[in-house]
Amino acid sequence: MNADTAYRRAYIRLGRLTPIPADCGQLCGKRCCKGEKDDGMILFPGENGFPPSFSVTDREINGYPVRFAVCPGRCRREKRPLSCRIYPFALYLDEAGMLSVIPDPRAKYICPLLSESALPLLDKRFQKAVLDAFTILLEIDGMRPMLTAYSHMLDEYRRFV
């Protein structure tokens, strides 16, 4: 399956689901949309279609080349990169090749949705849809090795939080 088709199917699976059935940016002043020019969200292999107002930089995670999209602070929600859509969660590919959705350790001190008191409010349908969407995306060339490098990076962060 080509990347465009896989992303279309993944976006359909996610639909309008979000971590909670409300605009969580109201809780924290949209902290995840604010950053400096060197901050950004990882773009997954073959991911395109994000707003032209985003700047894209090339980076590496654990030696694997990735692109980062840097947000100017506002965008059309339906055009957000997947990393933005699934925040404050991340995809994790374990050593056995099993895919799971985990709280992003980089978000622990930024996003109020990861506080103990907010965890019961999280929409389980959202987490299931994220897992389903990325199961589709695993068919894209380069997705599995990228998620392996990404998961190792997350392991490094989890050691410190």
Q: What is the pLDDT of residue 37?
A: 67
Percent of the chain with pLDDT over 70: 98
Band of residue 53 on the pLDDT scale cut at 50, 70, 90: confident
Residue 101 in tokens: 């959705």
What average pLDDT does range 19-34 have in this prediction? 80
Number of independent structural domains in the chain? 1
Q: Are 134 and 91 in contact (CB under 8 A)?
A: yes
- Locus of tokens 């090339």: 58
pLDDT surpasses 80 at 136: yes
Cross-strand partners of 93: 99
- Phi/psi at 126 (nearest 5 deg)? -65, -50
Which tens digit of pLDDT belongs to each residue from 57-82?
899 998 999 998 888 777 777 788 89
Band of residue 17 on the pLDDT scale cut at 50, 70, 90: very high
User: β-pairing, 89-93 with 99-103?
Assistant: antiparallel
Q: What is the pLDDT of residue 38?
A: 67
Q: Are 116 and 23 in contact (CB under 8 A)?
A: no
- Look at 92 and 51; give whichever has higher pLDDT: 92
Q: What is the pLDDT of residue 82?
A: 92
Which tens digit of pLDDT belongs to each residue from 85-119?
899 999 999 999 999 999 999 888 888 899 988 88
User: How many whole angstroms separate alpha carbon 53 and alpha carbon 117?
Assistant: 35
What average pLDDT does range 5-11 have in this prediction? 94
**What is the span of the domain harbouring residue 47?**
3-158
Q: What is the pLDDT of residue 109?
A: 86
User: How many whole angstroms separate alpha carbon 134 and alpha carbon 114?
Assistant: 21
Read off the pTM. 0.89
- Look at 76 and 8; give whichever has higher pLDDT: 8
Nearest partner of 56 among 74, 37, 79, 75, judged by Cα: 37
First to last CA, the chain: 37
User: How many whole angstroms separate alpha carbon 39 and alpha carbon 23?
Assistant: 22
Q: What is the pLDDT of residue 28?
A: 80
User: How many whole angstroms separate alpha carbon 104 and alpha carbon 61?
Assistant: 15
